[in-house]
Amino acid sequence: MSKQSAVICLDLGGSFIKLGVMNAQGELTLLDQQKIPATSWDEFTALVSRMIAQHHLHFTTSSPVAISTAGIVAPDSGEMFASNIPAFHQRSLAKELGAILQREVIVHNDADCFTLAEALAGAGKGHKVVFGAILGSGVGGGLVADGRIITGQNGLTGEWGHGPITLTEVEIDGVTRRLPRKACPCGQKGCLDSYGGARGLENLHQTLHDRTASSVEIIESWQQQEAQAQQTIQAWLQIVGQPLAYSINITGASRVAVGGGLASVAPLIAALDEVVQGCVLSRTAHRLVVPGEFAHHGGMMGAALLARDLTRRA
């Protein structure tokens, strides 16, 4: 691999730092993974410096660092809002880390990076507007149009998981069931995140059946035609499908690439597509909602593609 055009890639989550490198052909190689020192800036920067130094043979001293991270990056100041990673919460991560590493550092939200990777090289390739729907432990999203990440006010775009939009009634086997609006850690009440991701699916099952089960157990039982799991997934598809259809109507997306753990359950995403197709203003001949092709390292890939584009245009 030519080191001259390499991009150093970092994915920063609440649990781990992943280090990779992208070559000139756009191929991503994962090099390392370490538990993140989530509460200490000094320990965090020391670990990042050490990880890059240990793998220095894969890139040059001028290779930029592209970071995909949980949290919001303020578009004007670069200040991070990442309450689950206090190590760099309310810091200008790109500027401060760049000074320590003596490299150009580019930072962007992980959902946005995933969406960019899918739009340029994955499930959304060839589509003008791509919506990224993250269905992991929670619900997140991103939006790409004409190959560019759309970044709105305060760095927020495509965040369909938050805001009081959750359905309060669902139809299960022809019977209307009422659902309570759950309080959300974001400070609002009734967010889709309460019922939409893997933890939300578990909350929904508990609410409907007063029974505790993991998302994996619920989905496995659903695939085995177990009655309670079937009812839970019926409700989940309505709760998630309708807001996703709104998002498509508003953004004009012709492809939704799904990331996160639930994206790996192909029958579930196919069922979600059927619900969404029934709710959008114009049903399409092709599938609208599909699993993303970069479920594991889409954030890193998107960040590297973004860095490469910004470097080229600089």
The CATH topology of domain 7-113+296-313 is Nucleotidyltransferase; domain 5 (3.30.420)
**Cβ contacts of residue 40 below 8 Å, gap of 6+?**
87
Smallest Cα–Cα separation from 68: which of 1, 2, 140, 4? 140
Smallest Cα–Cα separation from 64: which of 110, 31, 107? 107
Query: 125-291: CATH homologous superfamily?
Result: ATPase, nucleotide binding domain (3.30.420.40)
Q: Domain extents for the chain?
A: 7-113+296-313, 125-291
**Cβ contacts of residue 212 below 8 Å, gap of 6+?**
202, 205, 206
> Does the pLDDT of residue 49 top 70, yes or no?
yes
- The answer to whether the 7-113+296-313 and 125-291 domains have the same CATH topology is yes
Separation of alpha carbons 259 and 89, rounded Å: 24
Q: What is the pLDDT of residues 80-102, one digit of tens each?
A: 998 889 999 999 999 999 999 99
Q: What is the pLDDT of residues 124-171, one digit of tens each?
A: 999 999 999 999 999 999 999 999 999 887 788 898 998 888 888 999
